[in-house]
Structure 1
Amino acid sequence: MDCGKPGALRDGTNLAWLVLVGSTLVGWWLGHAIQTAQAPMRLATAGVLLIAFAKTWLVGYQFMELKHAPWWLRHGFDAWIIAVCAALMALYLG
């Protein structure tokens, strides 16, 4: 799709790409905040982990076509994302 067209952001792929780029920038900023001690290290690291799992879900849903997959595969992927993210957060923050 030509990005010059008015409806370019209506395409889910373009919007997902913008969200991925934006979340990458936020993750970079959090990493920089950790190094310069502008934010509590544990909170910033937890934020980076959450962003990483949100990006993983978005890539699976949009670019790996899970939005068109059978319900059991979609929800299995969702459950996996939530379970692994929760386990890592519990191990890190606990």
Structure 2
Amino acid sequence: MSRRLTLIWALLVAATLLSFETMGLGDARIGGALILLLAFAKVLLVGREFMELRHAPLMLLWLFQGWVAVTGAALACLLIF
């Protein structure tokens, strides 16, 4: 379990560093959408692993994952278009 949490933590740090790197992209809308999608990927990882939603009832897990996917995609689309 400790190894799993360490791996998730390393992924979260890598996603944070990647979001800093995307600020230098030429098109601000694409860079902003990418940062937003990385943020929602981090929300998904934190919710599943550190809030232990992966052990929650299946309906709650699917509602959470659906909310992350729909909200992240909607906000990214609003930012791009």
TM-score in terms of structure 2 length: 0.91
Matches within 5 A, 1:24-43: 24-31=16-23, 33=24, 38-43=25-30
1:69 paired residue number: 56
- Give the Å deviation of 1:12: 1.3
Count residues with an aligned counterpart: 81
TM-score in terms of structure 1 length: 0.79
1:21 paired residue number: 13
Runs of 4+ residues deviating >6 angstroms:
none
Alignment of 1:56 with 2:43, yes or no, is: yes
Structure with larger RCO (C-alpha < 8 A, sep 6+): 2
Identity %: 40
Higher helix proportion: 2
Amino acid at match of 2:55: H
1:45 paired residue number: 32
Match of 1:86 among 66, 73, 77: 73
Greater C-alpha Rg: 1
Can you give the 5+ residue segments of structure 2 that lack an aligned partner in the other structure? none
Can you give the 5+ residue segments of structure 1 that lack an aligned partner in the other structure? 2-7
